[in-house]
């Protein structure tokens, strides 16, 4: 079995996973309340909170799973991308455990771990996959050829999708993070009998050339801004705005996935990241996958969509099996693309 340590952003998490399959214990401390007053993650507050919580979570995890150090074969730790100060807290814990108990360290790419976590829940089709990552910091599509082997084939030109949810929520004077509350408001619109026809916002990137796979959400965010600017809150149809915002954004997501399937001929699509907690997006993706006959996978448990140590321990297992271990002086990096050269 292996330990997974996650501290790249605003969740501190430790997990124990057996053979990349069985989740023995998972502890997560979410810092949302620390950052909510600022409507975004404050790096210094994040590092301090990781430092305060991480040892406690490790202890709780070990007690819950009732395991002995001698049973632990590897320590998987997020090394990139993320906030430097935060990554260093997890890295230092991994170094300590490794030094004291002589257990090898497996450096893990946080973004790959988000995609790989589906293997914890079900039997997975063989590689290659298309990996679609929709989170607070990413809207990207990867060709995922093997454990530790991904190439970026589509990316955002500006905002990430989760970030757009957070900004739209702020424009509507709704809480942070925006995703869950925007989804809840959009649901209210679904239940109406007197729905107005048409969308408040234009279709995204409708002129984009066939082969290019790109996301852009800043125009949609600006369209929401122009729609609400100068209007008193009581004059705004918040459920309709949330619904039309989501619908417009999700249409670009499904269009880009369909393009990627067509361009690459890869029929297995793995979706992950915080935005996948959105049930309306899940339903939309299910519908398109069925219609266009590709295999769709995403973490069924919403807790596995947001940042967690289980995904780190899970991918760590496959990387450890392939011999991807690192010495104690391994590095961490804020970069998405980074390989250990020490």
User: What is the closest distance, in whole angstroms, from the C-beta atom of residue 163 to Mg ion in the complex?
Assistant: 12
Using CB under 6 A as the binding rule, whether residue 165 contacts ligand AMP is answered as yes
Using CB under 6 A as the binding rule, whether residue 81 contacts ligand AMP is answered as no
Say if CB 77 and CB 2 are below 8 A apart: no
Q: Find the binding residues for ligand AMP in span 285-314 (CB under 6 A).
A: 306-307
Binding segment (CB under 6 A) for ligand AMP, from list 117-125, 274-282, 292-300, 313-321: 274-282
Non-local (6+) Cβ contacts of 250 within 8 A are 280, 281, 284
Cross-strand bridge partners of residue 123: none
Binding segment (CB under 6 A) for ligand AMP, from list 17-25, 41-49, 272-280, 318-326: 272-280
Burial classification of residue 210, based on how many CB atoms lie within 10 Å of its CB (0-12 exposed, 13-18 middle, 19 or more buried): exposed
- Cα(83)–Cα(48) distance, rounded to whole angstroms? 12
Among 2, 3, 10, 116, binds Mg ion (CB under 5 A): 10
Q: Find the binding residues for ligand AMP in span 94-153 (CB under 6 A).
A: 135-137
> Is 137 marked within a binding site?
yes
Q: At what angle do helices 279-292 and 178-190 cross, to 10 degrees?
A: 70
- Reduced to 3 states (helix: H, G, I; strand: E, B; else coil), residue 160 is coil
**Which residue intervals of 39-138 are DSSP H helices?**
43-65, 84-101, 110-116
Using CB under 6 A as the binding rule, whether residue 179 contacts ligand AMP is answered as yes
Binding segment (CB under 6 A) for ligand AMP, from list 34-42, 85-93, 177-185, 214-222: 177-185
> Is 68 marked within a binding site?
no
Using CB under 6 A as the binding rule, whether residue 166 contacts ligand AMP is answered as yes
Based on CB atoms, which residue is closest to ligand AMP, 185 or 214? Answer: 185
273: left (phi over 0), alpha (psi -120 to 50) or beta: left
Q: Which residues bind ligand AMP (CB under 6 A)?
A: 135-137, 162-163, 165-166, 177-180, 183, 273-275, 277-278, 306-307
């Amino acid at each position: 079995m292996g330990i997974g340590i996650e501290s790249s952003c605003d969740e501190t998490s430790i997990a124990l996973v057996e053979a990349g399959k069985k989740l023995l214990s998972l502890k997560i401390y979410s810092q949302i309340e620390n950052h909510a007053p600022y409507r975004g993650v404050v790096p210094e507050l994040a590092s301090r909170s990781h430092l305060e919580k991480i040892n406690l979570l490790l202890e709780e995890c070990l007690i819950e799973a009732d395991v002995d150090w001698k049973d632990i074969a590897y320590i998987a730790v997020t090394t990139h991308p993320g906030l430097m100060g935060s990554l260093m807290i997890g890295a230092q814990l991994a170094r300590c455990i490794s030094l004291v108990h002589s257990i090898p360290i497996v450096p893990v790419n946080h973004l790959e771990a988000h995609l790989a976590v589906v293997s914890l829940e079900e039997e997975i089709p063989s590689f290659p996959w298309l990996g679609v990552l929709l989170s607070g910091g990413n809207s990207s599509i990867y060709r995922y050829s093997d454990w530790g082997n991904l190439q970026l084939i589509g990316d955002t030109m500006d905002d990430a999708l989760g970030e757009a949810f957070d900004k739209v929520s702020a424009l509507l004077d709704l809480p942070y993070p925006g995703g869950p509350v925007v989804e809840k408001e959009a649901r209210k619109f679904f239940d109406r009998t007197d729905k107005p026809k048409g969308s408040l916002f234009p279709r995204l990137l409708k002129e984009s050339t066939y082969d290019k796979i790109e996301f852009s959400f800043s125009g949609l965010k600006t369209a929401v801004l122009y729609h609400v600017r100068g209007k008193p809150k009581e004059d705004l149809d918040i459920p309709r705005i949330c619904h039309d915002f989501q619908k417009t954004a999700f249409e670009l997501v499904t269009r880009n996935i369909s393009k990627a399937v067509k361009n690459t001929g890869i029929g297995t699509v793995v979706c992950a990241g915080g935005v996948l907690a959105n049930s309306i997006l899940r339903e939309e993706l299910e519908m398109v996958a069925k219609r266009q006959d590709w295999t769709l996978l995403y973490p069924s448990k919403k807790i596995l969509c947001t940042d967690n140590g289980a995904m780190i321990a899970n991918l760590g297992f496959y990387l450890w099996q392939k011999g991807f271990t690192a010495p104690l002086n391994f590095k961490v990096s804020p970069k998405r693309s980074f390989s250990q050269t020490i």
